[in-house]
């Protein structure tokens, strides 16, 4: 699975959009981009995943660049409850049922 790079921390004002970047320049054609988050003292929580098209669900939007070397997770209206560590993970299609390899993630602080 490809390696990912994320900024260690970010701040966002409550009510504003939070845009969390992820670099995955070595991604290959059969690898998906997944996002999980971990609120303090809880287990990680799945947010969204995608291959090459932009994806949206009730939690967030995922924008993947055309060359697929980077992506951005967008929380459209961040709330204090979105304060968490966000992990960007790349997984091969054939490994989608297998392990997750977490990096250090981005610690997002949403401030009032």
Partner 1 sequence: DTGVSQNPRHKITKRGQNVTFRCDPISEHNRLYWYRQTLGQGPEFLTYFQNEAQLEKSRLLSDRFSAERPKGSFSTLEIQRTEQGDSAMYLCASSQLETGTYEQYFGPGTRLTVT
Of the candidates 79, 78, 76, 37, the one whose C-alpha atom is nearest the C-alpha of residue 56 is 76
Which residue number, 94 or 112, has a Cβ lying nearer to partner 1? 94
For 9, 10, 12, 51, 107, the CA distances from 55, given in Å and listed in that order, are: 24, 22, 22, 9, 22
As a 3-state breakdown, the chain gives helix, strand, coil percent values, each rounded to 5, of 5, 45, 45
Which of 29, 66, 81, 99 binds partner 1 (CB under 8 A)? It is 99
- Comparing CB distances to partner 1, the nearer of 2 and 14 is 2
> Is residue 10 close enough to count as binding partner 1 by CB under 8 A?
no
Judged by CB under 8 A, the chain residues 32 through 61 that form the site for partner 1 are: 41-46, 49
What does the binding site for partner 1 look like in residue numbers (CB under 8 A)? 41-46, 49, 85, 87, 91, 96-105
């Amino acid at each position: 699975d490809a390696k990912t790079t994320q900024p260690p921390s970010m701040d966002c004002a409550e009510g504003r959009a939070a845009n969390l970047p992820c670099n995955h320049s070595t991604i290959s054609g059969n690898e998906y981009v997944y996002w999980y988050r971990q609120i303090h003292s809880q287990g990680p929580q799945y947010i969204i995943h995608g291959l090459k098209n932009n994806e949206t669900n009730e939690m967030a939007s995922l924008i993947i660049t055309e060359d697929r070397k980077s992506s951005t997770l967008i929380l459209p209206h961040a709330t204090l409850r979105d304060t968490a560590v966000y992990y960007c993970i790349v997984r091969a299609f054939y490994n989608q049922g297998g392990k997750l390899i977490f990096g250090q993630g981005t610690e997002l602080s949403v401030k009032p």
